Amino acid sequence: MKLAYWMYAGPAHIGTLRIASSFKNVHAIMHAPLGDDYFNVMRSMLERERNFTPVTASIVDRNVLARGSQEKVVDNITRKDREEHPDLIVLTPTCTSSILQEDLENFVERAQLDSQGDVMLADVNHYRVNELQASDRTLQQIIKYYIEKARKREELDTTKTVEPSVNIIGLTTLGFHNNHDGRELRKLMADLGIKVNAMIPEGATVDQLKTLPKAWFNLVPYREVGMMAAEYLQTEFGTPYVDITPMGVVETARCIRKIQQVINAQGVGVNYEDFIHEQTLHVSQAAWFSRSIDCQNLTGKKAVVFGDNTHAAAMTKILAREMGIHVVLAGTYCKYDADWFRAEVSEYCDEVLISEDNGEIGDAIARLEPAAIFGTQMERHVGKRLSIPCGVIAAPIHIQDFPIGYRPFLGYEGTNQIADLVYNSFTLGMEDHLLEIFGGHDTKEVITKGISADSDLNWTHEARTELNKVPGFVRGKVKRNTEKFARERGLSEISLEVMYAAKEAVGA
Amino acid sequence: MTAAQIRPTTPEPSALNFECETGNYHTFCPISCVAWLYQKIEDSFFLVIGTKTCGYFLQNAMGVMIFAEPRYAMAELEEGDISAQLNDYDELKRLCDQIKRDRNPSVIVWIGTCTTEIIKMDLEGIAPRLEAEIGIPIVVARANGLDYAFTQGEDTVLAAMAQRCPKQAPTKTEEKEERNAIQKLLNFGRQTEEVTQAEAEYADHPPLVLFGSLPDPVVTNLTLELKKQGVKVSGWLPAKRYTELPVIEEGYYSCGVNPFLSRTATTLMRRRKTKLIGAPFPIGPDGTRAWLEKICSVFNIEPKGLEEREAQIWQNLEDYVQLIRGKSVFFMGDNLLEISLARFLIRCGMTVPEIGIPYMDKRYQKAELDFLERTCNEMGVALPRIVEKPDNYNQIQRIYELKPDLVITGMAHANPLEARGIDTKWSVEFTFAQIHGFTNARDILELVTRPLRRNTNLKDLGWDKLVKEAVEV
C-alpha cells in the first residue's frame, strides 16, 4: 500500500480509452463498476467535445460479483454494435475487473460471432502499466490487428507511394496540445514536400490502418505514445522511423535533417538546409529572441523543469541551449523510461529527478528556489504557494490548458509559442519582485473608502459570524446587499433574521 | 401560485409509474462523498483504500480542492496487496501511523472500494484492533461503485457514524458545552439564566436529531426555522467536528434532510431505536413548509405563519418562475435528489416527463413521493414516469423524441446535448449548491434558469445546432 494524494499518470484503462476514442467510429466498452466512466466527463469537459464520447460501461455490480458477467458483457457488445455500428469495439478491462479474472477473451470471441464490426480485448495489465504505457500498447495492438486482418484477406498493399510520404503516429485525444501540434506537423510536412499518408490515432478510421505500410517513413513526435507501433512497423515492413521531437529550434532542425536522411536513403535527393535556414532566421522568432536584449536578461536565471519525458526533455534543452537559462533540475514522472530521460538531459542540467511523488518535487523546488518553474498543473500550484511563476508544459492539465486559440508546442510556430511562455513566466516574476522592492504600484495611502467599507449599521455577533462563513469572493457583495436591504427598511441592526430575509428578497 | 393552465399531454395515470432499466448510466463514484465530508467534519481524515482508478477519479472530480492540502488520501493498493503477499493489517497500520503523525485527526474514516470488496479485505475486522492500538477512532464505510451511486456514499459514512454517537448525555457541564455546538450557536454565549429563559421558547417535545451533511449556514438556517415553531434541534449528524457527534438515546426522534439517506435512517431506527419522522425534504419552499409541518405535527405543535411565509417566498421567486412556467424538464438521474427537485419544479409550473434516479427507496421517500403525486394533481399535470437504474442510451433517444426544454444531466452528456440544441443543466451542481430551506429556494431556480437565461441572450445568433452530422431520431 502506498499513501498517495496525487498522481501524474492515470490508470491503464485511461490510456486505452484515449486511443480508442481518438479513432473515428471506434467504441470502447469498459468492464467496470458504476462511476468508472469518469473518462467521459473529462473528455467532454476538457476537450469541450461536441459529440458523445464513444465509451460505455458494462457495469460490474453485486450480481456480477456473485455470478460472473455471464451474458452481460456479450450482450452489451452486440447491443452497441447494433445501435451505433462501430467499425471496432474495444473491450476495456479496469483494475476492478482485472482481479475478477473472468475470461474476457472468451466473451470477445462470442460477441464477435454476432457483431458486424470487429471486437477486441485491450491487452494491458492494470497493476503493472500506467496510462501512457497502456496507450502505447493499445495503439500497437489495434494497428497489428488490422494489418494482420488485411494480410489474411490479401488486401495489404505494401508498395510505397510515388512521392515521399509519412505516417504521423501518436496524436491522441486529451493529449497536451495534440490537436494544435497535429496541424503544425501537417504544415511542416507540406512545406517539406512530404505527403501525409496517415495520421493516427486522432481522427483516423481503422480502415486507414492497412495503408500504413505505404508510407516511406513514420514520424513519432512524442516519446510516450507511438514508439511500439513504429517499432512494429519497422520489424514488419522495414519502415524506418524518426523519433526526434521537433520541439525547439535546434531539435526541429535535427528532426528535419533526420527526415532528409531517411528519405534520401530511399532513393531521392532532397536538401532541406535552405528551408531550415529560412525558417530559423525568419519564420520562427525564437532564434532572434535568443539574441535580443530581453533574452540576455534571462541569462543564468534558475529554472526547474518537470513533466513527461517528451516535454520535460525538450524544454530543458530549449532553456539551456537556446536561451542560456540555468536549469538547476530537470525531472520526469515517466519512471519506466528513466534511462532515456537521463541520457537526453544530463548535459543540460545540474540535477535529474525521476519521481512520481509530487511531495518530492515540491520539496526540491522549495530547496532550489528557482526564478521560474516549467511543469504540470501540480507544479503550478507549488509555484503559487511559493510565489514562483510557472509555465505549464505537460499533463496532468486543466481546462485552461486546452486553449481554443492556436497553440502548438511543435514545429516552427511552436518555437514562438514556447518563447512567449518562457518570457512571460520570467518577466512576471521579475515584475513582482520589483514591485516588492519599490513597495507596490501605488504608494499613496487610500483616502476615500469604498461604498461599504464604513457603515452606520450594526451587525449582531451572530450575523457577523454568519457573514464570515460566506466565501470570501462573494462576502463583500452579500454584505453590501444586506445593508442596502436593511437601510431601505429603516433597520439599524442586522441580525441573522435580517440576513436571511435579505437573501430571500434579493438573493443577497 | 395559480393552478397551471397547462393541459396534461398524455392521459393521466392514476398513480406514479415506476420502471427499472439496465443500470447503464453515468454517475459519480460514491467515494466522491469525501470531497464534502472532509470539509464538513473538520477534524476528520478520510483514507480511501483503493486503486489508481479511484485516485484518478477523486483527483479530477475535486479539481482545485486537491491543491488545498485536503484531509484525505488514497491508500493505493499494489499488486502485493491484491495477491495477499502483504499483510493488510500491517500495511494499514503503517499508513494510519503516518496520518496520525502528520495530521493528528480525531477520527480516520476508511472508505472501502470495489477492490477491497472483491478481494474481501476485512476492514470492519481490522478497524477495532487498529483503533485500540493507535488510539484514534476508525470508522469504516463501504462506499463502492458495486453497490452505490454518488450521494449514497454519504449515506454509508453517516450510517457508520450513527453507531458512534454517544448513547447517553454526559453529566458534566463542561463536556456538555463542548458537545452541544448547535445549542451554543443558538445561545451565543448568553448567560445561563438567559439560556433557561430561552428554553421556554421551545415547546415541550422529545429530543430531535436531524441527519444529513449540509453546509454550516444551511444548518443554522434550518435550525432557526424549527426554532420559530418551538422545535428544538438537540443535535445534528454529522456535526462540525467528530468529537461533537450528537447524543442519541433510545426514543429520540430523527428526521432526514436529504433523500439519499435511507441506510442512515434505517440504522437510526433499528440500531439506535429512534423514531423516524418520514417527511418530504426541505428543498423548495413547498418542501420546506411540508417538512416543518410534518415535524410539528409529530410533536403536536400547531405551525405558525408557514402559509404566509411560503407565499412570500413564492412571490420573491416570481421573476425566475416566469422563465420556466409551462416548460418541460427531463431528469436523467444521478444523485437521488431528483424526486424532490422534480416536485419543486412542478410546483413552479414545469412539466416533467421523466425522472431518472439511481435508486428509489419507496419507504424512506414515501412522504416525498406522496407529495409529488399531490403536487401533480394540484397543478393539473401528468404524473412523471420514474425510471430507476436508467439506461442513458435509451434516455437520449427519448430526449430526441420528447424535445424537453431542459435536461438535467451529468457532465458526460451536457456538452454533446448542448451541441445538438438541447438546453442542459449540470446535475452535480445541485449537490454542492445550497438548496435547502426557504432562504435557498432562489438558488435552485438560479441554477435551473441559468441555461435558459444564457440561451435567451444568444437566441438570435442562429447557433442552435453545432454538430455536423444530422441527429438521427
DSSP alpha helices (H): ranges in A62-130?
62-67, 72-84, 95-100, 104-113
Q: Which 3 state secondary structure label does DSSP give A11?
A: strand
User: Do residue B57 and residue A62 have CB atoms under 8 angstroms apart?
Assistant: no
The C-alpha atoms of residue B427 and residue B408 are separated, in whole angstroms, by: 6
User: Do residue A1 and residue B91 have CB atoms under 8 angstroms apart?
Assistant: yes
Q: Which of B268, B267, B261, B294 is nearest to B280 (CA)?
A: B294
ipTM score of the complex?
A: 0.87
CB atoms within 10 A of CB A18: 28
CB atoms within 10 A of CB A125: 14
Residue A221 has a pLDDT of 98
Residue B55 CA to its chain's centroid (Å): 22
The answer on pLDDT for B67 being more than 70 is no
Q: Which of A45, A51, A50, A2 is nearest to A25 (CA)?
A: A51
Residue B86 has a pLDDT of 87
| Catalytic residue ranges of A | 294
Q: Which three cell numbers stand for residue A411?
A: 514545429
The C-alpha atoms of residue A379 and residue A307 are separated, in whole angstroms, by: 9
The C-alpha atoms of residue A465 and residue B185 are separated, in whole angstroms, by: 10
The C-alpha atoms of residue B243 and residue B99 are separated, in whole angstroms, by: 18
Interface test with A, best of B53, B82, B435 (most A CBs within 10 A): B53
The strand pairing partners of A446, in sequence order, are none
Residue A66 CA to its chain's centroid (Å): 39
Q: Give the residue-averaged pLDDT of B172-179.
A: 50
Q: Give the residue-averaged pLDDT of B41-68.
A: 86
The C-alpha atoms of residue A110 and residue A224 are separated, in whole angstroms, by: 33
User: Do residue A14 and residue B56 have CB atoms under 8 angstroms apart?
Assistant: yes
CB contact at 8 A, A307 and A394: yes
Q: Is A83 on the interface with B (CB under 8 A)?
A: yes
The C-alpha atoms of residue B110 and residue B99 are separated, in whole angstroms, by: 12
Residue B2 has a pLDDT of 42
The answer on pLDDT for B104 being more than 70 is yes
The C-alpha atoms of residue B229 and residue A234 are separated, in whole angstroms, by: 80
The answer on pLDDT for A450 being more than 70 is no
The answer on pLDDT for B172 being more than 60 is no
Q: Is A278 on the interface with B (CB under 8 A)?
A: no
Residue B144 has a pLDDT of 92
Q: Give the residue-averaged pLDDT of A213-242.
A: 97
A111 phi and psi, to 5 degrees? Answer: -65, -35
Q: Give the residue-averaged pLDDT of B79-99.
A: 92
Q: Is B421 on the interface with A (CB under 8 A)?
A: no
Which residues on chain A are in Cβ contact (under 8 Å) with B149?
34-35
The strand pairing partners of B49, in sequence order, are B75, B112
DSSP alpha helices (H): ranges in A265-324?
273-278, 286-291, 293-298, 309-317, 323
pTM here is 0.89
Q: Is A400 on the interface with B (CB under 8 A)?
A: no
The C-alpha atoms of residue A167 and residue A288 are separated, in whole angstroms, by: 32
User: Do residue B24 and residue A60 have CB atoms under 8 angstroms apart?
Assistant: no
The answer on pLDDT for A317 being more than 50 is yes
The answer on pLDDT for B470 being more than 60 is no
A235 phi and psi, to 5 degrees? Answer: -65, -45
pLDDT-above-90 percentage for chain B: 77
Q: Is B52 on the interface with A (CB under 8 A)?
A: yes
Which residues on chain B are in Cβ contact (under 8 Å) with A384?
67
Residue B21 has a pLDDT of 94
The answer on pLDDT for B472 being more than 70 is no
The C-alpha atoms of residue B3 and residue B429 are separated, in whole angstroms, by: 29
**Number of alpha helices (DSSP H) and beta strands (DSSP E) in chain B:** 20, 14
The answer on pLDDT for A435 being more than 90 is no
User: Do residue B145 and residue A34 have CB atoms under 8 angstroms apart?
Assistant: yes
**B236 CB-near residues (< 8 Å, 6+ apart):** B182, B209, B210, B211, B219, B223, B246
Strands B72-76 and A2-4: antiparallel
Query: H or E stretch including B425?
Result: strand B424-426
User: Do residue A5 and residue B53 have CB atoms under 8 angstroms apart?
Assistant: no
Which residues on chain B are in Cβ contact (under 8 Å) with A462?
185, 188
- Angle, helices B216-228/B284-298, rounded to nearest 10 degrees: 50
Residue corresponding to grid cell 530543458: A316
Which residues on chain A are in Cβ contact (under 8 Å) with B220?
466, 496
Q: For residue A16, which amino acid is it?
A: T
The answer on pLDDT for A210 being more than 50 is yes
The answer on pLDDT for A76 being more than 90 is yes
Q: Is B63 on the interface with A (CB under 8 A)?
A: yes
The answer on pLDDT for A455 being more than 70 is no
Q: Is B111 on the interface with A (CB under 8 A)?
A: no
The C-alpha atoms of residue A378 and residue B135 are separated, in whole angstroms, by: 34
Report residue B384's pLDDT band, with 50, 70 and 90 as the boundaries: very high
Residue B5 has a pLDDT of 44
Cα separations in angstroms, B36 against A110, B13, B157: 44, 39, 12
The answer on pLDDT for B232 being more than 80 is yes
CA distance A449 to chain B (A): 29
What is the residue-averaged pLDDT of chain B?
89
CB contact at 8 A, B331 and B355: yes
Strands A372-375 and A302-307: parallel
Q: Is A185 exposed, middle or buried (0-12, 13-18, 19+ CB in 10 A)?
A: buried
DSSP alpha helices (H): ranges in B200-305?
216-228, 262-270, 284-298
User: Do residue B316 and residue A504 have CB atoms under 8 angstroms apart?
Assistant: yes
Termini Cα distance of chain B: 37
Residue B171 has a pLDDT of 60
| Peptide bond between residue B259 and the one before it cis (omega within 30 degrees of 0) | no
Which residues on chain A are in Cβ contact (under 8 Å) with B79?
127-128
The answer on pLDDT for B115 being more than 60 is yes
The answer on pLDDT for A194 being more than 90 is yes
CB contact at 8 A, B440 and A69: no
Residue B68 has a pLDDT of 66
CB contact at 8 A, A38 and A13: no
Q: Give the residue-averaged pLDDT of B289-314.
A: 96
Q: Give the residue-averaged pLDDT of B391-397.
A: 96
Taking the CA atoms of A260, A263, A267 and A270 in sequence, report the sign of the dihedral they define. negative
Report residue B347's pLDDT band, with 50, 70 and 90 as the boundaries: very high
Q: Give the residue-averaged pLDDT of B61-67.
A: 69
| Peptide bond between residue A201 and the one before it cis (omega within 30 degrees of 0) | yes
Residue A440 has a pLDDT of 59
Q: Give the residue-averaged pLDDT of B74-80.
A: 91
Q: Which three cell numbers stand for residue A372?
A: 521560474
pLDDT in tens, B436-456: 999 999 999 999 999 988 887
Residue B191 has a pLDDT of 53
Residue B104 CA to its chain's centroid (Å): 28
Residue A328 has a pLDDT of 97
The answer on pLDDT for B465 being more than 90 is no
DSSP alpha helices (H): ranges in B229-337?
262-270, 284-298, 306-324
Residue B4 has a pLDDT of 43
Residue A96 has a pLDDT of 87
Residues in chain B: 473
Which residues on chain A are in Cβ contact (under 8 Å) with B82?
99, 127
Residue corresponding to grid cell 467528530: B242
Residue A77 has a pLDDT of 96
Query: A50: nearest CA in chain B?
Result: B416
Q: Which 3 state secondary structure label does DSSP give A390?
A: strand
- Of the CA atoms within 13 Å of residue B381, those in its CB half-sphere come to 28
The C-alpha atoms of residue A429 and residue A370 are separated, in whole angstroms, by: 10
The answer on pLDDT for A39 being more than 50 is yes
Q: Which of A408, A383, A358, A364 is nearest to A177 (CA)?
A: A408
Q: Give the residue-averaged pLDDT of A397-424.
A: 93
CB contact at 8 A, A294 and A422: no
Q: Is A51 on the interface with B (CB under 8 A)?
A: yes
User: Do residue A4 and residue B55 have CB atoms under 8 angstroms apart?
Assistant: yes
Which of A311-315, B74-78, B203-207, B421-425: highest mean pLDDT?
A311-315
The strand pairing partners of B277, in sequence order, are B255
CA distance B173 to chain A (A): 23
* Angle at A358 (CA atoms; ends A355, A362), nearest 5 degrees: 105
Q: Is A87 on the interface with B (CB under 8 A)?
A: no
pLDDT in tens, B178-216: 555 555 555 555 555 555 556 678 999 999 999 999 999
Cα separations in angstroms, B466 against A33, B397, B403: 33, 18, 17
Q: Which three cell numbers stand for residue B109?
A: 474514516
* Angle at A246 (CA atoms; ends A311, A194), nearest 5 degrees: 145
Strands B385-388 and B138-142: unpaired
Question: For chain A, percent helix, then strand, then coil, each to nearest 5?
Answer: 55, 15, 35
